[in-house]
A and B are shown apart, each in its own frame.
Chain A
Amino acid sequence: MGLILYGRILSPFLARCVIAANAKGVAVDVQVPKGGIKTPEFLKLNPLGLMPVLKDGRTVLYESAAIVAYLDAKSRKNPLRPKTPKAVVQAGLPAAVTDNYVQGPAADLFRLKRGTAKNPVDPKAAGAALMKGLDVLEQTLAKGKYAGGAKISVADCYIPPALVFATHTAAIFALGDIFAGRPKLAKYWKGIQKDKAVKPVVDAMNAMMADALAGRLPPLY
């Protein structure tokens, strides 16, 4: 029986796991949980009621960082966590900055537009936070093809899904071109979208994002 990821590719947390699986050459089947992610059945898998959940035989895991680490250990191809202290930081920092300062405000703006925000969102503050997060990301990106340098790493699992959210929400809220004045990020985005592990995920997210914003895709929560 193969690996199953419960959730939907539009979730940036699920998308990063799919990029990781693609990079590792591990097959995963993405399945949308029946009835969403707040049903008693789903809460049995993940009491937090969040996607993604990974099922590998009897092993059930949630939290994208844990799932990415698990997938990383599944095959020897493309280790996603470098070993030396310097390389660990070069890959880890852009991943952490994306996770903590880019993905959050971009998702807030997305939920505001979609009408699914649980807490009030101030679009000006969220837009400013997103721009600041992108500035720090620009500073932490390596110069190579990948975010951590010459090889694909955990950073390349985290950044592209966040940039899908950032490009769409920046357009909607008229925040301007997010790549203007951020040359490393611009070059990175252009290159990474051609990567075999990343392209199918970004394409699928973009298609689903359009549906979600047009009100054709009800949320799973």
Chain B
Amino acid sequence: MIVYGSIFSPYCARVALAARHKGIKHTFAPPVGGGYKSPEFLKMNPLGKVPTMKDGKTVVFESAVIVDYIEAKSKKKSLYPKNAKDAASARMIGAVAGDYVHNTVSKLFAQMGPDRDQKAVEAVAAELAKYLDIAEKVIAAKPYAAGAKFTIADVFALPSLAFMELFVPLFGIVNPIGGRKKLARYMAKAKKDKLMGGVLKDMEDGFRAWQKSRGL
């Protein structure tokens, strides 16, 4: 399985977490055709986005769909709790700590240039604090996001929280998790977890290389 993209993108890290958990061999690769907007790449994914996955003749894009594809590929080590309520809760936790957090953090990409709007950065910081408060409420951190087992909640939550911790300090937002105890415990445990810690390390390495290449 080839995954086009870089692992420090939270969307790509979701795929890495799911595939490593399920024991599915995969390699990350730069885009075919030399770029994500090249005709070759756009033929695979008309949106020109990462991650895009190729498994034999099957091409899949959108991280959530790739994760579902990986889940369906083998029945072992399901990402979903068996009980319907627990499975729905895991999705919910993943949405809050994953999507809402990252959608907010990614607004900072518009503030990377020299003409940074400090007011806009502060607005993002305030919005992020609001979503982190809600994530703190819903995350189980026992030690995984939805409870005692690694689930779809971790696949969504961990990459967003990890990217946030790497990215927002560049904008003067220091220690975004702050005194939120469950989130802090979750991240501390994740670093020691073989699967999650491995992905965190790879995300950080990828991020630092990107940061250096951009002179940030």
Contacts and interface: CB of A to CB of B under 8 A. Distances in A.
Interface of A: 47-48, 59, 61-63, 65-67, 69-70, 73-74, 81, 83-86, 88-89, 92-93, 96-97, 100-101, 135-136, 139
A48 B134 contact: yes
B175 to A, nearest CB: 22
Interface of B: 46-47, 58, 60-62, 64-65, 68-69, 71-73, 84-85, 87-89, 91-92, 95-96, 100, 133-134, 137
Given A85-B73, A88-B69, A96 B64 contact: yes
Contacts, number: 73
Contacts of B73: 85
Contacts of B62: 92-93, 96-97, 100
Contacts of A47: 133-134, 137
* Top 4 closest pairs, chain A to chain B, by CB: A73-B84, A70-B88, A96-B62, A66-B91
Nearest to A83: B72
A92 B68 contact: yes
B64 A69 contact: no
A62, A66, A135 pick with most chain B CB within 10 angstroms: A66
B65 A136 contact: no
B92 A89 contact: no
Nearest to A92: B65
A178 B84 CA distance: 38
Contact of B58 (A48, A59, A61, A85): A85
A69 B88 contact: yes
Contact of B89 (A48, A61, A83, A86): A61
